[in-house]
A and B are shown apart, each in its own frame.
Chain A
């Protein structure tokens, strides 16, 4: 017994010592790691105002404005329509936009260290057939001159700088985003076969002599039957072609998520192939290069803004379109003044997405259900430095293989300055895993802390310890980030139906009517609507 007591005492002493030591170690640890306070901000498109469209309880109108042409919506389609109107000599128009700034998905932000995109961030070298777009690029100083053989010379400061892209795979940053580091022979053989097949699709022409895959979509062959490819999802098509390896499926899935917001399980096979086959790379010098800026496509939007100077009504939301005699009357809610006004126009160019138009015009709700929009987040992260990672250095696009998100863009990459702390990156993520409505709920339900830990978990895979380097994080939410060309959508009646103009009064232009959310589609949507309007006038 005596022994027992004594041993208990010494055991107690030992336990005490252990506890004290453990506490001491904790304390030392706490002294070593400084708590890093990340400045968090949750922003996004004005969805609260937008949601009022569903239950319109706006005040009675107290102001009337008359204008010959009204553009509703200041995204790239609307701005391009304005550009075309000015080009054709029509300068008497107004443009409405519900946000503080025009630009739509091409808007950008600016902090003390860099400009940064809030959505779209680059424009690939256009196809040679896109004469109007190339002309716009020339007017904007992006194309400097043309060679005697008709080749454009792009301003090198606006082409993406090297190193362009890297992929974090098997714990190493490899160059380029096509998986190559540590993949099996079977995988690389499949990737090579896939790219050969895409080359064939690139050259494929329909009976009318036009490319089957082209940009804008309206230039593509109309005789070729798209229904076979559009009627199946990309994953089924890949499997039917004998593609099974992880590297290939991951890569194609990434590309579909990046361009359409939805992965290969939901994206139509036609759209999936379109990504690889629609860009013709007509000029060897510019193979695979893209035009990009620190502010992303905000640069393109700012060039287009010149054509709407003094004609924009910001924070003005159209909520109803009525036809009265020879005029179209658009009821508009002015957020700043909290009043409703009526704009009487001879003609309107409606550049709103269709999920908005269903509230402005009657009988469109059921058909609009066929339009699927993927929600997105773009997080602007300011950090002191990147934790060490093996492989190629920081590039413009940085993608994590099998990551949750779509990787990040180094925003200061296009700066001519020396790279230096703090670094600004834009992290992209599309929530398109099938049930887009559910995804959208999650987008708005999650708190800033939830989004922060989601993003950090993803980034930590490639940059262990990044959290303590982060200064701030702005998470910009797009409820309807982009139209998703899900199975069957590109060949659906819904798209052509909603694109039809209403008499010679309302013309529609938006990239969702093309089915593919890229700058070129929106640009040509705007141009085409104006061209049709002018044709109807004469």
Chain B
């Protein structure tokens, strides 16, 4: 007795849950599209349009379902749960793999929309003999719209911050399936094929719960796909994430998702970083390298037979160990870090420089770009002042100073900052295909030092021709008309410039 009375209420509750879930899938698709494709207004608007249209298609198709309404209703429930719930997972994973991502995205939106569109007409069909038509229409739509409101409020406030996009869609997929599970047991007697339906619904639930449980790992996996090429090595050190990829025989090294070098053209960068200073310095027996844990700059340095000692200071032991031991990478740096003349020190450069006692003839400074306030400290006047204690009058120093083409303000800011400490300096740049135009700065404490005097050269150089003056000409699009400030610890203006300029790209 009670059961028959309760049925409409349970089904209306189902409407409510279905409506909530339906809107959630729509919002998930919109959020995903704007995350992955950008232009959120356009993406949201297209997604909502497509979704509503496909709901219409679903509603239309619902009239062809005439038999076993309960069975079909539960089937649809399970399908929505599976497709809607997994949609974000599949889309995240596929984003890296396929060319027609938009097509897949809208296909998913259409499918979920279509299935959601079938639900309400089907339900009204089920309920039409049990409730008066007037009540039926108002109740169904009232619950439908309340569900929609709750979904749209919960989504930005609670769901995205707590569960994330993937978690949210999986969570609601599970809820959808739970409705199916509930109904398959509750309506057991009304079903044509109760055992089959029950089996289906429980296995769907188990499946989705497993995906939900591993969603964090899936997310990690999908992010690791961002590189496009084959990942051949992945390693996280306390300081950075090192990823090595391969593409048609060339290798690319990414540190925290930023391309560090491509074996195809890294020699251009490292030759231009190292050889000008090495060929002009009065003495080169004692060389210091900051950063450059890949050993590629050291490889260039060791080409000069006069070099007696190289000290490499790199924060990340994980990085230097990798470039000492990995067979493939050692082939590229020619075992430079294992050379008996080379000492590797894994310390914070600023702290090390403040306590170092030795004087160096040449210094090569190859820090990562100043993309955050932590790295920005290594490009301040305070840091360059600290270097003075490690220099003799004849020491030559070269620094990588980001791209004068993409980030002219950042580039000239570093140059001005160096100039505030070492007035005798010169800016130069070259073209590295993987990076684009790249800039450097060469300086010396000695005001008499000119940057034209070639004291020595080696033959094993592929790109640099020892005509330094060819690198010192800056066309107008690599200069800035704005006045740049000096980068100090208390203003870290460089990080702002850098963020402003690279943020645009």
Residues of A within 8 A of B (CB): 7, 10-11, 13-14, 17, 21, 25, 28, 32, 156-157, 159-164, 289, 393-394, 416-421, 464
Stretch at the interface among B28-36, B132-140, B183-191: B183-191
**Residue numbers in A under 8 Å from B373 (CB-CB):** 161-163, 393-394, 419
A96–B318 alpha-carbon span in the complex (Å): 51
Answer yes or no: B488 CB below 8 A from chain A CBs.
yes
Contact A161 B377 (CB under 8 A): yes
Contact A162 B189 (CB under 8 A): no
Contact A420 B490 (CB under 8 A): no
What is the interface of chain B mostly: helix, strand, loop, or mixed? helix
Contact B374 A419 (CB under 8 A): yes
Contact digits for B146-187, partner A, Cβ 8 Å, 1 yes 0 no: 000000000000000110000000000000000001100110
Residues 103-132 (chain B) with a chain A CB within 8 angstroms: none
Contact B489 A156 (CB under 8 A): yes
Contact A418 B375 (CB under 8 A): yes
Contact A416 B377 (CB under 8 A): yes
Contact A13 B185 (CB under 8 A): yes
Contact A14 B348 (CB under 8 A): no
Residues 28-81 (chain B) with a chain A CB within 8 angstroms: none
- Enumerate 16 A-B pairs (CB-CB under 8 Å) in ascending A order: A28-B209, A32-B213, A156-B380, A156-B382, A156-B488, A156-B489, A159-B489, A161-B373, A162-B492, A163-B492, A393-B372, A393-B373, A417-B348, A417-B350, A419-B373, A419-B374
Closest 6 CB pairs of A and B: A162-B492, A416-B350, A14-B185, A419-B374, A417-B348, A159-B490
**Residue numbers in B under 8 Å from A289 (CB-CB):** 490
Contact A418 B382 (CB under 8 A): no
A417–B349 alpha-carbon span in the complex (Å): 8
Q: Tell me how far the C-beta of A499 lies from the nearest C-beta in chain B, rounded to whole angstroms.
A: 37
Contact A416 B490 (CB under 8 A): no
Q: Tell me how far the C-beta of B263 lies from the nearest C-beta in chain A, rounded to whole angstroms.
A: 27
Contact B348 A416 (CB under 8 A): yes
Contact digits for B479-496, partner A, Cβ 8 Å, 1 yes 0 no: 000000000111111010
Q: Tell me how far the C-beta of A145 lies from the nearest C-beta in chain B, rounded to whole angstroms.
A: 13
Contact B348 A160 (CB under 8 A): no
**Residue numbers in A under 8 Å from B351 (CB-CB):** 416-417
Answer yes or no: B474 CB below 8 A from chain A CBs.
no
Contact A161 B185 (CB under 8 A): no
Within the complex, which residue of B189, B239, B354, B372 is in contact with A416, where a contact is CB–CB below 8 Å?
Answer: B354
Give the size of the chain B interface in residues (CB under 8 angstroms): 34
Within the complex, which residue of A17, A163, A394, A416 is in contact with B185, where a contact is CB–CB below 8 Å?
Answer: A17
Closest to B382 in A: A156
Answer yes or no: B3 CB below 8 A from chain A CBs.
yes
Given contacts A163-B373, A393-B373, contact A418 B315 (CB under 8 A): yes
Closest to B375 in A: A418
A156–B3 alpha-carbon span in the complex (Å): 78
**Residue numbers in B under 8 Å from A419 (CB-CB):** 372-374
A421–B374 alpha-carbon span in the complex (Å): 12
Answer yes or no: B238 CB below 8 A from chain A CBs.
yes
Closest to B188 in A: A10
Closest to B495 in A: A162
Answer yes or no: B381 CB below 8 A from chain A CBs.
yes
Q: Tell me how far the C-beta of B318 lies from the nearest C-beta in chain A, rounded to whole angstroms.
A: 13
Most A CB within 10 A of own CB, among B181, B238, B348, B489: B489
Contact B348 A156 (CB under 8 A): no
Given contacts A10-B185, A417-B351, A418-B348, contact A157 B489 (CB under 8 A): yes
Contact A421 B489 (CB under 8 A): no
A13–B182 alpha-carbon span in the complex (Å): 11
Contact A418 B239 (CB under 8 A): yes
Contact A162 B491 (CB under 8 A): yes
Contact B189 A7 (CB under 8 A): yes
Within the complex, which residue of B3, B181, B188, B490 is in contact with A162, where a contact is CB–CB below 8 Å?
Answer: B490
Given contacts A14-B185, A28-B209, contact A160 B490 (CB under 8 A): yes
A297–B437 alpha-carbon span in the complex (Å): 47
A416–B379 alpha-carbon span in the complex (Å): 12
A17–B185 alpha-carbon span in the complex (Å): 10
Contact B489 A161 (CB under 8 A): yes
Given contacts A417-B348, A418-B315, contact A7 B3 (CB under 8 A): yes
New A-B contacts (8) at CB < 8 Å, excluding given A13-B185, A419-B373: A7-B189, A10-B188, A14-B182, A161-B373, A393-B372, A416-B377, A417-B351, A419-B374
Q: Tell me how far the C-beta of B223 lies from the nearest C-beta in chain A, rounded to whole angstroms.
A: 14
**Residue numbers in A under 8 Å from B162 (CB-CB):** 464
Q: Tell me how far the C-beta of A291 lies from the nearest C-beta in chain B, rounded to whole angstroms.
A: 10
Within the complex, which residue of B213, B348, B354 is in contact with A28, where a contact is CB–CB below 8 Å?
Answer: B213
Q: Tell me how far the C-beta of A227 lies from the nearest C-beta in chain B, rounded to whole angstroms.
A: 40
Closest to B496 in A: A162
Residues 199-213 (chain B) with a chain A CB within 8 angstroms: 205, 209, 213
Closest to B372 in A: A393
Contact B381 A156 (CB under 8 A): yes
A402–B351 alpha-carbon span in the complex (Å): 38
Q: Tell me how far the C-beta of B191 lies from the nearest C-beta in chain A, rounded to whole angstroms.
A: 12
A220–B340 alpha-carbon span in the complex (Å): 68
**Residue numbers in A under 8 Å from B489 (CB-CB):** 156-157, 159, 161-162
**Residue numbers in A under 8 Å from B3 (CB-CB):** 7
**Residue numbers in A under 8 Å from B354 (CB-CB):** 416
Contact digits for B5-33, partner A, Cβ 8 Å, 1 yes 0 no: 00000000000000000000000000000
A7–B1 alpha-carbon span in the complex (Å): 11
A32–B315 alpha-carbon span in the complex (Å): 33
Closest to A25 in B: B209
Q: Tell me how far the C-beta of A157 lies from the nearest C-beta in chain B, rounded to whole angstroms.
A: 6
A17–B205 alpha-carbon span in the complex (Å): 12
A21–B350 alpha-carbon span in the complex (Å): 56
**Residue numbers in A under 8 Å from B495 (CB-CB):** 162
Contact A14 B377 (CB under 8 A): no
Contact B186 A14 (CB under 8 A): yes
A243–B49 alpha-carbon span in the complex (Å): 47
Residues 350-383 (chain B) with a chain A CB within 8 angstroms: 350-351, 354, 372-375, 377, 380-382
Q: Tell me how far the C-beta of B494 lies from the nearest C-beta in chain A, rounded to whole angstroms.
A: 10
**Residue numbers in B under 8 Å from A156 (CB-CB):** 380-382, 488-490
**Residue numbers in B under 8 Å from A32 (CB-CB):** 213
Residues 464-505 (chain B) with a chain A CB within 8 angstroms: 488-493, 495
A511–B165 alpha-carbon span in the complex (Å): 55
Q: Tell me how far the C-beta of B5 lies from the nearest C-beta in chain A, rounded to whole angstroms.
A: 13
**Residue numbers in B under 8 Å from A417 (CB-CB):** 348, 350-351
A487–B257 alpha-carbon span in the complex (Å): 57
Within the complex, which residue of A14, A25, A163, A420 is in contact with B238, where a contact is CB–CB below 8 Å?
Answer: A420
A160–B205 alpha-carbon span in the complex (Å): 55
Contact A161 B490 (CB under 8 A): yes
Closest to A28 in B: B213
Within the complex, which residue of B372, B492, B493 is in contact with A161, where a contact is CB–CB below 8 Å?
Answer: B492
A419–B488 alpha-carbon span in the complex (Å): 17
Closest to B386 in A: A416
A5–B490 alpha-carbon span in the complex (Å): 79
Most A CB within 10 A of own CB, among B162, B209, B374, B493: B374
A14–B189 alpha-carbon span in the complex (Å): 14
**Residue numbers in A under 8 Å from B185 (CB-CB):** 10-11, 13-14, 17
**Residue numbers in B under 8 Å from A159 (CB-CB):** 489-490
**Residue numbers in B under 8 Å from A28 (CB-CB):** 209, 213
A432–B373 alpha-carbon span in the complex (Å): 35
A28–B209 alpha-carbon span in the complex (Å): 10
A163–B373 alpha-carbon span in the complex (Å): 8
A10–B495 alpha-carbon span in the complex (Å): 66
Q: Tell me how far the C-beta of A410 lies from the nearest C-beta in chain B, rounded to whole angstroms.
A: 11
A464–B380 alpha-carbon span in the complex (Å): 34
**Residue numbers in A under 8 Å from B213 (CB-CB):** 28, 32
Most A CB within 10 A of own CB, among B239, B488, B490: B490
A159–B380 alpha-carbon span in the complex (Å): 14
Q: Tell me how far the C-beta of B489 lies from the nearest C-beta in chain A, rounded to whole angstroms.
A: 5
Q: Tell me how far the C-beta of B387 lies from the nearest C-beta in chain A, rounded to whole angstroms.
A: 13
A14–B201 alpha-carbon span in the complex (Å): 13
Q: Tell me how far the C-beta of B193 lies from the nearest C-beta in chain A, rounded to whole angstroms.
A: 16
